[in-house]
Structures are given as C-alpha cells and as structure tokens.
Amino acid sequence: MWTSWWLWALVAMCAGETWREQAERIMQQTPVIDGHNDLPWQLLTKFNNQLYHQGSNLSTLASTHTNIPKLRAGFVGAQFWSAYVPCDTQNKDAVKRTLEQIDVIQRMCQEYPETFKCVTSSQDIRQAFQEGKVASLVGVEGGHSIDSSLGVLRALYHLGMRYLTLTHSCNTPWADNWLVDTGEDEPESQGLSEFGESVVREMNRLGIMIDLAHVSVATMKAALQLSSAPVIFSHSSAYQLCAHKRNVPDDVLQLVKATGSLVMVNFYTDYVSCSAQATLTQVADHLDYIKAVAGAEAVGLGGDYDGVTRLPVGLEDVSKYPDLVAELLQRNWTEAEIKGMLAENLLRVFAAVEEVSNRTQTSHKPEEKPIALDKLGDSCRTQYGYSAAPSLSLRPGALLASLAPLLLSPHLL
Ligand SMILES: [Zn+2]
C-alpha cells in the first residue's frame, strides 16, 4: 500500500513535469500575447511615472505582479499595456493623463530596449517574437479618454493606441458601461448613441480594435452588430461560470463565435469564482467553457495583472502562464488550440482589423460629426466650433428661447 502510493506520486510528479516541459516547448515557439496589464498604472501610483526613481527599476521591481524576470519566466511575448485613467478624470484631465500613460509605456521601451519593443501591428508582433522581445502595445481603457472627440481618437491612434475599451466603469456620453446592468448606473445611450456608432465606425476605419470589456450587454451587442471587423474582450471571463456583470454572457459568446471575435480571460478572483479565492484550475474552467461555447479560436488571455488585488492560487504573477498551459495540456487541449489561445487568435483578429482598415481607408472618409454640445458634461471646456445654431437645435426649448428676441423684435411685430 505504502509502495503503491509512492509509485502513484512518482508517476504523477513525472507526468506533471512532462506537462510543464511540454508547455515550455510550445511557448518557446508561440509565447503569450496578454490582452491587459496595468503595470503603467502601478508606475503612476507608486512612482508618479518616474522610471529613474529609486525602486522603479523594472528588472528588480518586487511589489508588482509584473517585472522583467517574471515576464521572461512566463514566456510573455507581447503585452497590451493598459493606458488606464480612472473615471473621475472624465470631463477633467482624462486626455492629459491618458497621454502621460502612453508616454510612460513608450519610455519603458526606450529604457529597456533589450526587453521591450514598442510596436503597432500584427506583423510587428511576429517580428518581436523572432527577436525575443516583448512586443509592447497600447490599449486605452475607457472611452472617457477620448473626451467625446473623434479628433482625439485619431490622435491617440497615431500615438500607438491599438485598442480602445469603449467604457471603463462609468458611462461615457456615447456608450453605457456594465454598471447599467447591475442597476448602479442609469442607461443613457441604450448601448451606443449615434455618436458612439461613429466612434466604432472610425475605429474600424483607423484599425483600432474595439474592446468590450467593461461595457454593458447592450453596448456589447450594439458594437458586435455594427463593427465590420471582429472585436475583443481584452480582460473578461465567462458569465455562466461566475455571474458577474463584467463577464460575457452566453448569448454574447454566440455573437463572438459568429463574428470571429475573441474573449481574453481575466484572472481576477472576483470574475473567476465570484469570490475572494480562486484557483488556476478555475481559470482553466473558464477557458474550457468559452472554447466549448464559442470555439477554440475565440479564447485568449487577459490576466489583468497589476490591475487587481486578488489572483488565483497558482497564477500569482506573470511568471505563471506556463502552469496554466500545462493544465490545459492535461485537459487534452491540442497544441494548435493552445497556440491559438496564447497568440494566434489575437493575431488573427488584429490582422482582420488591419485588413478592414486597409480596405476602408480608401472608400470611407473620416467620421467628423461632433458630439452634440449638450451631451458634454459640465466642465471648464471652451466651446469653439459649436456655433449657436447646431447646438441649439439639439436642446429642446433652447431654439425657441433663442428665437424669442427675434420674434419679439419690432421688425417682426
Ligand atoms: Zn479593467
């Protein structure tokens, strides 16, 4: 009995090593492309974006889920770094702070050129894989970062933004967020407003991936229906396994499947198990589930490292991805399915977004109809460009008020 227990343990251990070794072999060829990492937010809050500050050295930084040795140990080959600014910047300094977060990502690439390579295309990611660098891309998390301006959207594209999450955890004047589905926020756009639709069309034209993490179900459906390219959920899990409104429900997973879109699974325990504790195997359950409902080509990884406070046992930092791959090998995922989840699915979606952009750049002019002035919240904004007539026509009662002096003028009386 004693002997057989040891034998079993030995076999299990050897098998475990084999899965892990197999995982590493696969990841040497096809490293992880992770959809969402908040290290830039950590750099802001811990060091006010000072990369030369004592303690902010990315080779030795220990208080974060992410540093250079951990990225290397985790076989991370590409990262969408989150240019995130909180909702309380909306109608204030959101654009300035977003620019600063993009700047700190670009400076990471300049400061650590042997590790990071800032890139902007699917082909660039493959090239960085060849060079053994961590391809670094900018994902802007929250539509409030464009301050309801198509001009700002285009400018951020030119600065390297390759996905925009349509909302964070607040409505924008043109798209509703997930808190509408919990009843904590009121629906304002019933998904996407007319201006929101023009934002989506312009993202298609420019070649910016539409990210539906954080949006309401109505916004998910509106964007999936409208977009002429596949979309992503950069860091969301399966609602059926954890009924959190940040997760993706089954009917939306069907739309993901139908459109060739992608769900990059979030590791935050609250979205994995709907509690403060979770395990690596529960994350694998989400991957299994999305694969079963939407297909293996719809599965990706968006760990949300450094954006969350609680992570599953076994996935404590960015060095742990190979253990997750080992778990999937144990669950009989094929090598092709695993490579899809790691990188190929995102590369396919990104290439499709680029293709739609190339096709529409020549046939479609840039969107340029401004948002109605009365949709903008109170702030210190000036109103250049908004002549009285177009804005007044959008305010019930205002037109009449503006016409009153005319109507009452002696010439007309
Ligand atoms: Zn997020």
- Which is catalytic among the residues 65, 235, 244, 286? 235
DSSP-assigned letter for residue 119? -
Average pLDDT value over all residues in the chain: 92
Q: How far is the CA of 362 from the centre of ligand 1 (A)?
A: 34
pLDDT grade for 313, boundaries at 50, 70 and 90:
very high
- Which is catalytic among the residues 147, 285, 304, 306? 304
In three-state secondary structure terms, 277 is coil
pLDDT of residue 403: 42
Among residues of the chain, what percentage have pLDDT more than 70? 89
Q: Which of 24, 47, 29, 170 is nearest to 101 (CA)?
A: 47
Q: Indicate if 158 belongs to the active site.
A: no
Q: How far is the CA of 42 from the centre of ligand 1 (A)?
A: 14
Read off the pLDDT of residues 329-381 as tens digits, 9 standing for 90 and up.
999 999 999 999 999 999 999 999 999 999 999 899 999 999 999 998 776 88
Type of residue numbered 272? V
267: pLDDT strictly greater than 80: yes
383: pLDDT strictly greater than 50: yes
CB 371 within 8 A of CB 212: no
Type of residue numbered 267? F
Q: How far is the CA of 246 from the centre of ligand 1 (A)?
A: 9
The set of residues, in sequence order, having a beta carbon less than 8 Å from that of 76 and lying 6+ positions away, is 31, 32, 34, 134, 318, 321
Q: Indicate if 288 belongs to the active site.
A: no
| CATH class of this structure's domain 19-377 | alpha beta
**What is the sign of the dihedral through the CA atoms of 201, 204, 208 and 212?**
positive
pLDDT grade for 54, boundaries at 50, 70 and 90:
confident
Q: Indicate if 368 belongs to the active site.
A: no
17: pLDDT strictly greater than 70: no
- Burial status of residue 188 (CB atoms within 10 A of its CB: 0-12, 13-18, 19 or more): middle
Distance separating the N- and C-terminal Cα atoms of the chain: 108
The set of residues, in sequence order, having a beta carbon less than 8 Å from that of 225 and lying 6+ positions away, is 255
- Which is catalytic among the residues 65, 144, 168, 244? 168
- Using the CB atoms, write b or e for 52-90: b if 16+ within 10 Å: eeeebebeebeebbbbbebbeebbbbbbbbbbbbebebb
The structural domains of the chain, with segments of one domain joined by +, span 19-377, 382-413
pLDDT grade for 388, boundaries at 50, 70 and 90:
low
Q: How far is the CA of 230 from the centre of ligand 1 (A)?
A: 20
Q: Indicate if 168 belongs to the active site.
A: yes
Read off the pLDDT of residues 60-90 as tens digits, 9 standing for 90 and up.
999 999 999 999 999 999 999 999 999 999 9
- Which is catalytic among the residues 147, 181, 197, 214? 214
